Structure formats: C-alpha cells, structure tokens
Structure 1
Amino acid sequence: MLQSALFLLLVTATASAQAAGADGMTPANLLTGAAFALLATLLFAALLYGLERVWRRVSERLGHDTTAEDDVHSLGSFALRFAGHLAGLVRWGLWLALIYAWVVFVLECFPFSRPLGEQLGGLVLSTLTRIAQGAVNALPDIITLVVILFLTRAVVDVLGQVFDSVQSGKLQLPFLHRETTGATRRIITILIWGLGIAFAYPYIPGSNSEAFKGLSVLFGIVISLGSTGVMTQMMSGLVVVYSRALRKGDFVAVNDVEGMVVEVGTLATKLINMRNEEITIPNGVLISSPIHNYSKLSSSQGSLLSTKVTIGYDTPWRQVHAMLIAAARSTEGLRQEPAPVVYQRALSDFYVEYEVFAHINEPLHRIRILSLLHANIQDQFNEHGVQIMSPHFFDQPAEAVVVPKAKWFAAPADKPDQA
C-alpha cells in the first residue's frame, strides 16, 4: 500500500512538472535549488549531530542517577528508567520529524519535484490541523472529565479522614467498629471511584467509537471469566473481617495451624507460627474451618497454656495440685496473675488425669514456655518423691490403693488452717 501511494505521488508530481512547462527547468533554477538543498542538508546534519549530543548527555545522566540509587527497586529508580524510555521515544520522534522536513524541503527546491514536496507538506499540515481541531472540540469534555474526577477524589479524601478518626478512636460511630474500618474504607472507596468513572465515561474522548466499545466488552469478558476464584476469596475475606473472628495480633488455631495473625488481607490471612514460619491461609479455607481464637476473650490476662499429667490414686490429689501450681509459678514466661489453676479432668480406671492452666503474654513463645513448665513439673515431683506414671494393674494389689488421711496434705500442699 505504501509503494502504491508513493507511485501515485510520483505520477502526480511528474504530471504537474510537465504541466508547468520547461520554463522552470533552467540551469539557474536547478543551481539555486541545489544550493538550497545543500544548505538544508548541512543544517539537517548539524541538527542531527546536536540531537545526538543532547541524547548522549541525557542518557548518561539518567544512567548515572539510576546506578546511584541505594535501592534499585525503589520508586525513584523506576521513575528514572521510565524517563529514559520516554526520552528515547522523543529522540526517535525528532529523528523522524527532521528527516521528513528535510525530504519535503529538498523536494520543493527543484521544479520537477516541487509538486510532490508540496503534497507531502500539505499532508502533514492537514493532519496537524485535524488533530488540533479534534483537541479543541474535545476540550469541553476533557474539562468536565477533570471536574468529575476532582470531585470524586475530594469525596474520597473527606471520607478517608472520617475513617482515620474512627480507627484512631477519636470518633465513634454506632455502625462502624475499629476492626472493620479498613475493609469498609476500601469498599466505599471502590464504590465511589466506580460511580465517578461511570459518570466520567461518556466524556472520555473516543468513548463512542466502535473500537473503544469492543475493547470495553473484551475487558469485561476477560475479567468475568478470570475473577470467579478471586471474588470468592474477596467475599470470604469480608466475612472474616465483619464477623470479627480474628484480627491482627490474635493468637489463633486453624485446623492444624497455630500462630499469631500478622495480616488479614483481602484474599488471604497470614500467620506466624511458633517456628517463626509465615503461613498464608486463603480466606475461602479460613471461613470453612473452625477458628480457635485464644486472644479474643483473654483481654489483659493473656493467652492460656495448659498441660496434662496422669498420676495414680495412691498420691494425694491436694499434693498433686500444689506441686503443679508451684511448678507453674516458678516457670519463666507464665503470669502470676491470674494465678495458675489445676483441674481434675478425668477419674480413669487406673489413674487421675490432672491439667494445669496458666496465662502467658507471648503466645509465639508457647513451645519454649511449655518446655520450661514440663521441666519444672518433673523437678517438683522428683523433689517430693512422687512418681509421674500412669499405673495399670494386671493383678489386684494385696492392699487397697488409697491415701491415708494423715498424708492428705503432704508437702507442698497446705492444710486448711495454713491456707
């Protein structure tokens, strides 16, 4: 197609030169045209040389600034690289503009090629005129578009200040909790920007063209087909947030995962377990599983930690209680208030099952604190000569396995008058 257009232009130029007659083909006119063409060529070469020098200095400057960045992945580094690509596009655009101008001027210097040069120059002039006229006609729509987007941004900023006040506790609204402020803010921001874009869409230049409409339909189909799973996770995330089942800083257990919540995101929730591993749980999995929140009701008392021991019936239960509480009180990391407590969980066939409960401030150190508690329990039982065992009888003992009343308050248990 380009070759056909050039051929038609050459035919037109030849016909115009023949119509002008041979008067313009004098040696004086040809020499004058050659002189002007030579001057234009020299000027063209000088401009290209200057353009290349400027481009070399700009590229060296941008390259130096990019390597001088402390973090190559920082926003400033990306901005400099973008500026470098933009400068490269401007350079090639100036190259093409200078070449085109030089070709048009040289063609107009000679009588036999002047019609072709005039047609090429007129083509550029008509194109620029059409572009300028389109920009002038679109100016009212562009102003309306800017006003709509400015008002939308203003509304979002005002509501953002309200949400910041609620999240910081300076403002209390009956329908908005501090835990759900972040999610509510994101939802309302998306809705407001969606309405703003919907109102601004008709004023976008070219929005009524068939190409623009087809592209919009294509994007709509792609988003509809690819966002099913994403929307499921997003809706699950909203359920997690608005049910207030957990929040950042809570120690929770989900299925076989125990850890502290470090992020409640739109698509997934992240935990850090006691091995200092980050575990990501999709919100769809989270809402379909039981969530054990050890911090929700603990308030200022901390999270609960417990462990079990099974002791024979021949050991006084008061002594076992006292030894377990003493072991808990001597364990570093367990709180003294509220005081540790012991419960008898079961009276089995061969032994009694005891469980001691205590509060901890740092759930992530649960394994270390539990290990210290186990060590202190062993020390307490060894110190008082009590075996930690779960006896099973294969034959009935000769004597009844009971605790004499004189040993009911064996050390370290306290008698009622000493309590």
Structure 2
Amino acid sequence: METTLTQVKGFLAKELFTLFDIQVTVGDLIAVPLIYIVGIWLFKKLAHMATYRLRASGASADTVHLFKRLFYIVASAILIITTLDVMNVPLTAFAFLSGAVAIGVGFGAQNIINNFISGWILMWERPIRIGDFLEVDGSRGTVETINTRSTRIRRIDGVHMLIPNSKLLENTVVNWTLIDLLTRTSVRVGVAYGSDCNKVAALIEQATVSQEDILSDPKPVVIFDDFGDNALMFETFFWVNATKERDLRVIRSQVRFAIDALFNEHDIVIAFPQRDVHLDGTLQLVKPSSNS
C-alpha cells in the first residue's frame, strides 16, 4: 500500500515542463481543472441559496442582480488566486502582462470600459431598474436585464433592444416608473357646435370615473379645450397605475367606448369635418348647338 502511494506521489510530482522558471507537474495539471470544476459548482450552489433567501426576504430584482454580479466577481478572483497558489505562481509574474493589457485597454477598448463602468453605475445608483418602463429615442419598453456592457429592453411590440449602458447615462431617458406607477394620460373628443357644453363635460366625466382602472385620487379633470374649426374640443385628464404602454392604450379605448355610448344615449353628436358651399349668381341653361 505504501509502495503504491509512493508511486502515485512520484507520478503526480513528475515535472512536465518549465514556464518562466515555474515547474509544472502532472499534479498541477490535474489539480487545476478539479479546482475549477468543484469551485464553480460550489459557488453556483452558494449563489443560488443566497439569491433564494434574498428573494424570500422581499429584496428587489435589482438588489439580487447586483449581489450575483459581485458574488461571481469575488468567486472568480478566489478561483484564480487559489489556482496560482497551487501552481506556486507568484502574482508578480503577471505585472508585465497586466501593464501591457492596461495599455491595450486604454487605446483600443475605451467604449467597452465606458459601458462596463456605466453598467456598474446603473446597478449602484439604480436610476434604471429591472422592470422599469423606459422611453429611449422614441422607443418604449420594459427593462429585462442590466448587463455589464449593455441593457436589454423588450419593446411594446415584443422586439428586444440592446442599448449600451453609456447611452442610458449620457442621453435623456424617460423612466415612467422610477418613483411610482402613477401615469397621467388623456382622451380628446370633439362635439358639434350647438351642443350643451355643460352636459357634454358631465357625460365625459361620467364615462371617465366609471372605469375601474382610473384612480379617483387625483380626481379626473374635464377641460373645454378649444373652439375648433369643426367642433367644440373637450379633453379629459386622468391618472392610472400602468407599467406598460398597452395598458394605457386599453384604458383610453375603454374611456372612448364609454363616451360614445353616453353620447348616443343623450343625442350628443361627435363632430366631423364639414364644409358649407355658397353659390352666388344665377344659373344659366346652356343649349346645345345645332352642329352637335
């Protein structure tokens, strides 16, 4: 038994090659993959347990996401340092390499580093969070994930957008749900001239407050907006809890259906473009010529 153990130790200690004055043995080549396999498996289990406890305690998706990022960075550093220690490689051996990498990064990867730092700023300051409804360059969508280089947004039409993190910090971004889910929207309608304006305003208000999705506080407001070319213009403003654009569209549609039903019930005419034609002078009958 001792002989076999001695043979195994001798085999593991057998030198294969030398790299930068560092002897690499068979044991090193076997130990390094084992360390990575066991380490990755262990760290994934720990990350899963920690994130499960965070979610159970009511932590937000952004907090869980930031914790996982930090955890995996620390875990990667531990694995690298452990591997170098097993192979008896001093960290000073990488001083020259790290300097060369730093120079290369400074000249050739400025945008990548910019987006990387911007991603960490977004995760720390949290001006944009997972689940927020954003408007960027005229496109609206929900934030699905914030990565180290880019942020993934799912637009209201189902298309995914990958936006560089630096763009979210350097440009104007409308966050509809940064503080709360309150959103104000409105519906415009025009009625024919001669309609009872007070009655029209009361019917519009009735149609608005009858919707369950519309908040009673702040109270909806009906405005007599303008004397239009073809109609008396009214607009109702109301507040809703909405996280997605399609929610607002559905609520506005429900208000329009209710307004149309009430107007039909009370004989209120929704205006449409009209033109009056006035003819001046007398009409003359032109007789056909005898040659035709």
Structure 1 length normalisation: TM-score? 0.45
Counterpart of 1:182 in structure 2 is 65
Q: Aligned Cα RMSD in Å?
A: 4.9
CA distance in 2, matches of 1:256, 1:180: 28
Partner of 2:126: 244
Whole-Å separation in 2 of the counterparts to 1:271 and 1:341 = 33
Residue of structure 2 equivalent to 1:307: 187
Distance 2:224 2:134 in 1: 27
Aligned match of 2:237: 356
Q: Give, as a single letter, the amino acid of the residue that structure 1 aligns with 2:66.
A: A
Give the 3-state SS of the residue equivalent to 2:121 in structure 1. helix
Residue 335 of structure 1 aligns to which amino acid in structure 2? D
| Aligned partner of residue 123 in structure 2, secondary structure | helix
Q: TM-score, structure 2 length as denominator?
A: 0.60
Give the secondary structure class of the aligned counterpart of 2:220: strand
Post-superposition shift, 1:186? 0.8
Check conservation: 1:308, 1:356, Cα contact below 8 A.
Answer: no
1:260-287 per-residue CA deviation (whole Å, 9 max, x = no partner) reads: 3333333223333333333333222222
The separation in 1 between residues aligned to 2:153 and 2:121, in whole angstroms, is 18
Deviations 1:353-385, CA, capped at 9 Å, x for gaps: 532325366735243543443344344334434
Instruction: Work out whether residues 335 and 361 of structure 1, in 8 Å CA contact, stay in contact via their aligned partners in 2.
Output: no
Q: Determine which structure has the larger helix proportion and give its number.
A: 1
Q: Give distance in 1, aligned partners of 2:111 and 2:74.
A: 21
The structure with the largest strand share of the pair is 2
Residue 342 (structure 1) aligns with? 220
For residue 189 of structure 1, what is the amino acid of its counterpart?
Y
Which residue type is aligned with residue 162 of structure 1? A
Partner of 1:266: helix, strand, or coil? coil
Residues 159-198 of structure 1, C-alpha deviation per residue, up to 9 Å, x if partnerless?
663343123327x7xxxx6522312331342144235524
Describe the shift of the 1:327–1:264 C-alpha distance in structure 2 as closer, same or farther (beyond 3 A).
farther
Matched, 1:285 2:167: yes
1:130-149 superposed matches below 5 A: 132-134=14-16, 138-139=24-25, 142=28
Residue aligned with 1:231, SS = helix
282 and 352 in structure 1: CA distance in 2 versus 1, 3 angstrom threshold: same
| Residue type of the alignment partner of 1:262 | E
Shift in Å, 1:343: 1.9
Larger Rg: 1
Q: Distance in 1 between matches of 2:17 and 2:84?
A: 17
Structure 2 unmatched runs, 5+: 1-10, 274-292
Query: Displacement, 1:231?
Result: 2.0
1:165 paired with 2:50, answer no
Letter in 2 for 1:323: L
**How many residue pairs align between the two structures?**
251
Q: Distance in 2 between matches of 1:223 and 1:281?
A: 22
Partner AA of 1:274 in structure 2: I
Matched residues in 1 for 2:138 and 2:41: separation? 45
Find the aligned partners of 1:375 and 1:132 in 2 and give their Cα distance.
84
Instruction: Report how far residue 323 of structure 1 moved.
Output: 1.9
Report 1 or 2 for greater relative contact order, CA contacts < 8 Å, sequence distance ≥ 6: 2
CA distance in 2, matches of 1:205, 1:163: 34
2:207 matched residue in structure 1: 327
SS of match in other structure, 1:374: helix
Letter in 2 for 1:308: R
Once residues 344 and 305 of structure 1 are traced to their aligned partners in structure 2, the CA distance between those partners, rounded to angstroms, is 12
Which ranges in structure 1 are unaligned for 5 or more consecutive residues?
A: 1-128, 392-419
* Identity of matched residues, %: 18
Deviation at 1:200, TM superposition (A): 4.1
Distance 1:152 1:385 in 2: 73
Q: Distance in 2 between matches of 1:151 and 1:277?
A: 37
Match 1:297 to one of 177, 180, 188: 180
1:315 to partner: Cα distance: 5.9
